[in-house]
């Protein structure tokens, strides 16, 4: 039974289908593990045990009747605390939303429930999803699975840690500038950011709607493909036979490789060598459009975030963590014309980037240029907090800005991920490449 807590979601689903795993027993195994875990309250904001057992019992009955709804019918997952859950607090990691209880599930949660996924509960996150570090003094800070003194990455911090520590078979997070991929990379799991707009944001507490994306954090690329399909009400791509032989990849040297620290740099070069040995063709290219996109990111992200949250924030600013409050208030510095001009520049950058990378199957990059920072220093050193947060999100937010899909894979080096970035709406093709790369890197 202990093995259940480390199996992929897909393997759990196959075990249920074969009659080897009972969904209710599986659910109870996860609930017992959560309850007994010493970090329970730093990972889970709220455990929905009654809902989970009821959903698992229904899945068990369907399995016995051979009427399963999907391969993952009966598999327990966690949800970032910004997905509306009927009758259960959804507070997005902020005292500003304390006591907020929605009356219906987010659409992606409705889709998941309709396909038999079991809701274990809501996990902690960075306040209002506006930090890549995962430090949240307002609620809780889940620690990195590789270093108890370091942060786990954000904003989907609890999502990553719940999966990495065997307290959920998969988790659903959100990614505005890297909030799925950073915690996934730092906790040695798979994180997928679909193309913006592929999955519904209905019932999801927003940060910046033009960049927000729902995405899974999982133990395998197969799990990521299956969960994404379920959330969108679609069909998962066939990953069988995926290969890297003769596939063309680009390493964009513009910005992505700047200020790399030793471990991420070594892990990246090792991964590139492994892909090359497998027959992949890899070129290094300059793409100035990446710099153009980064130049306008501050204006676009902070303007939209502050525009959405200004009235709520300014009614009770003392309830917020000061670093997050200051980041939101950066949106005050930009005018309407600034915002329009920034969007025009970004649209041009998207066209230029697409042209520069059109001949490649995907772009490769280190997911994060740094390792998880130590929590105590983040608490006491303002300049360090600002620098590490911006550097943490530098590589991942490029994909959000340019409207791309992106996947992070564990490299075998703790807390170092390999990011594969695909063209808009090429999600299935990217997942196939990821499945092939995963076999090498594991």
**Strands 248-252 and 362-366: what pairing?**
parallel
Q: Which of 60, 126, 152, 155 is catalytic?
A: 155
The number of angstroms, rounded, from the C-alpha of 251 to the middle of its chain's C-alpha atoms is 22
179 included as an active-site residue: yes
Helix (H, G, I), strand (E, B) or coil at 141: coil
Rounded distance between C-alpha atoms, residue 107 and residue 30, angstroms = 25
Strand (E) or helix (H) holding 295? helix 289-315
Distance from C-alpha of 30 to C-alpha of 49, rounded to nearest angstrom: 10
- Torsion sign over Cα 319, 172, 104, 211: positive
Q: Among the options 152, 179, 220, 297, which is catalytic? A: 179
- Ordered DSSP codes for 342-406: HHHHHHHHHHHHHHHHTTSSEEEEES-SSPPPBHHHHHH-HHHHHHHHHHHHHHHHHHHHTT-EE
Within 8 A by CB and 6+ apart from 184, the residues are 153, 156, 160, 190, 191, 217, 367, 408, 417
Catalytic residue among 80, 122, 193, 271: 80
Active site residue 428: no
* Among the listed residues 70, 419, 69, 40, the one whose alpha carbon sits nearest the alpha carbon of residue 256: 419
Q: Which residues are catalytic?
A: 80, 155, 179
């Amino acid at each position: 039974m202990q093995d259940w807590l480390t199996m992929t979601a897909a393997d759990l689903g196959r075990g249920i289908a074969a009659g080897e795993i009972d969904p209710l027993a599986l659910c109870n195994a996860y609930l017992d593990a959560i309850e007994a875990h010493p970090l329970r309250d730093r990972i889970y904001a709220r455990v929905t045990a009654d809902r989970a057992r009821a959903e698992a019992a229904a899945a068990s009955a369907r399995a016995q009747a051979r009427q399963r709804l999907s391969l993952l019918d009966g598999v327990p997952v966690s949800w970032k605390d910004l997905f509306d859950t009927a009758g259960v607090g959804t507070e997005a990691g902020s005292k500003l939303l304390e006591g907020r209880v929605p009356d219906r599930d987010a659409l992606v949660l409705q889709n998941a429930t309709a396909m038999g996924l079991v809701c274990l509960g809501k996990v902690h996150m960075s306040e209002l999803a506006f930090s890549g570090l995962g430090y949240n003094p307002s609620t809780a800070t889940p620690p990195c699975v590789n270093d108890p003194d370091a942060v786990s990455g954000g904003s989907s911090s609890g999502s990553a840690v719940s999966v990495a520590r065997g307290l959920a078979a998969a988790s659903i997070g959100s990614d505005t500038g890297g909030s799925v991929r950073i915690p996934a990379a730092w906790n040695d799991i798979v994180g997928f950011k679909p193309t913006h707009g592929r999955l519904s944001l209905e019932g999801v507490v927003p940060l910046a709607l033009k960049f927000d994306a729902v995405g899974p954090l999982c133990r395998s690329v197969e799990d990521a493909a299956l969960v994404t399909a379920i959330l969108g009400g679609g069909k998962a791509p066939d990953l069988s036979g995926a290969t890297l032989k003769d596939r063309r990849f680009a390493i964009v040297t513009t910005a992505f490789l700047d200020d790399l620290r030793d471990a991420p740099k070594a892990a990246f070069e090792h991964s590139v060598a492994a892909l090359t040995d497998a027959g992949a063709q890899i070129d290094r290219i300059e793409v100035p459009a990446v710099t153009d996109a980064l130049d306008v990111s501050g204006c676009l992200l902070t303007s939209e975030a502050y525009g959405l949250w200004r009235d709520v924030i300014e009614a009770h600013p003392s309830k917020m963590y000061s670093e997050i409050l200051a980041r939101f208030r950066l949106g005050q510095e930009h005018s309407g014309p600034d915002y329009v001009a920034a969007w025009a520049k970004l649209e041009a950058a998207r066209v230029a980037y697409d042209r520069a990378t059109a001949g490649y199957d995907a772009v490769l990059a280190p997911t994060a240029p740094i390792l998880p920072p130590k929590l105590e220093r983040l608490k006491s050193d303002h300049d360090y907090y600002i620098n590490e947060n911006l550097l943490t999100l530098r590589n991942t937010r490029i994909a959000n800005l340019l409207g791309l899909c992106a996947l992070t894979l564990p490299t075998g080096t703790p807390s170092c991920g390999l990011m594969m970035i695909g063209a808009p709406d090429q999600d299935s093709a990217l997942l196939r490449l990821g499945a092939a790369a995963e076999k090498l890197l594991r």
